[in-house]
């Protein structure tokens, strides 16, 4: 499915330097920064620098270099932030049912405490 990218979304603006962020890791294809509204002691967002709407857009259309860089950056951040020992959770939301707020692909990396169940029972 072809998805239209909104170049005015907040993460596009962060990538253009129009909005500040607390950067954790900056690589050729990936930016990782603190979530402004953390859900746990560690809650960072990893975004590709390319214009991808969501997970499937990124997985389908990004180059192998972008995909590799993104996942290596996420793994490096887990190590850097001390999450490997206790564990962590990576989540990505997509579309209306996933309750995605920002239409630029991002992975939430969350940890620092025991996390609740993945999905609340309906």
* Number of Cα atoms under 13 Å in the Cβ half of residue 62: 24
Q: How far is the CB of 109 from ligand 5GP (least distance, A)?
A: 11
Instruction: Give yes or no: 106 in active site.
Output: yes
Contacts to ligand 5GP from residues 3-22, by CB under 6 A: 10, 19, 21
- Report yes or no: 43 and 33 within 8 Å, Cβ to Cβ: no
Residues 83 and 111: beta-carbon distance below 8 Å: yes
Residue 27 interacts with ligand 5GP (CB under 6 A)?
no
Q: Residue 80: in which H helix or E strand, if any?
A: helix 64-80
- Pick 16 or 64: Cβ nearer ligand 5GP: 16
Q: What residue ranges bind ligand 5GP (CB under 6 A)?
A: 10, 19, 21, 33-37, 45, 93, 99-102
């Amino acid at each position: 499915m072809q998805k239209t990218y909104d170049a005015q979304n907040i993460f596009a603006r962060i990538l253009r330097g129009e909005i500040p962020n607390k950067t954790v890791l900056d690589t050729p294809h990936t930016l990782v920064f603190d979530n402004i509204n953390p859900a746990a002691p560690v809650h960072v967002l990893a975004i590709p620098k390319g214009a991808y709407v969501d997970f499937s857009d990124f997985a389908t259309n990004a180059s192998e270099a972008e995909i590799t860089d993104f996942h290596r950056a996420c793994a490096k951040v887990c190590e850097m932030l001390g999450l490997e020992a206790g564990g962590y959770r990576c989540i990505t939301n997509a579309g209306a049912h996933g309750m995605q707020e920002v239409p630029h692909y991002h992975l939430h990396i969350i940890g620092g405490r025991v996390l609740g169940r993945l999905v609340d029972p309906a």
